[in-house]
Structure 1
Amino acid sequence: MSSLPASREPGRYRVELVCLGNICRSPMAHVVLEQRLADAGLADLVEVTSSGTGDWHVGNPMDRRAAATLTAAGYDATRHRARQWAGPDDADLYLAMDADNLANIGGPGGRIRMFRDLDPLHPGDDVPDPYYGGDDGFEEVLAMVELTATALVEALRRERPWDTTEP
Structure 2
Amino acid sequence: MSSILFVCMGNICRSPSGENVMRKLLDDAGLGDSIRCDSAGTIGFHVGNPPDPRMSQAGRNRGYAMTGSARKVTPSDLDEFDLILAMDNENFADLERLSTPANRHKVRRFCEFCIQYPNTEVPDPYYGGARGFEIVLDLLEDGCKQILKQIKEQL
TM-score, normalising length from structure 1?
0.84
- The residue type equivalent to 2:144 in the other structure is A
Which has the bigger relative contact order, CA under 8 A and spacing at least 6?
1
Q: Is residue 39 from structure 1 mapped to residue 28 from structure 2 by the alignment? A: yes
Q: Which protein has the bigger helix share?
A: 2
**Matching residue's letter, 1:125:** T
The 3-state SS of whatever aligns with 2:80 is: coil
- Partner residue of 1:145? 140
CA distance, structure 2, for counterparts of residue 132 and residue 123 of structure 1 = 22
TM-score by length of 2: 0.90
Q: Does 1:83 align with 2:71?
A: yes
Aligned ranges 1:102-117 → 2 under 5 Å: 102-106=92-96, 109-117=104-112
1:55 maps to amino acid: G
Q: Does the 8 Å CA contact 1:115/1:124 hold for their aligned counterparts?
A: no
Q: Does structure 2 conserve the Cα–Cα contact (< 8 Å) formed by 1:59 and 1:81?
A: yes
Q: What is the CA–CA distance in structure 1 between the aligned matches of 2:82 and 2:117, rounded to whole Å?
A: 23
Measured after TM superposition, the shift of residue 89 of structure 1 is 2.0
Is the Cα–Cα contact under 8 Å of residues 117 and 139 in structure 2 kept in the other structure? no
**1:101 maps to which of 91, 103, 113:** 91
Whether contact under 8 Å (1:118, 1:148) holds in the other structure is yes
What residue ranges of structure 1 are gaps of 5+ in the alignment? 1-6, 8-12, 161-167
Partner deviation per Cα, 1:119-139 (whole Å, 9 max, x = no partner): 113467100000010011001
Q: Aligned-residue CA RMSD in angstroms?
A: 1.6
| Cα distance in structure 2, aligned partners of 1:154 and 1:142 | 18
Question: Identical aligned pairs, as a percentage?
Answer: 38
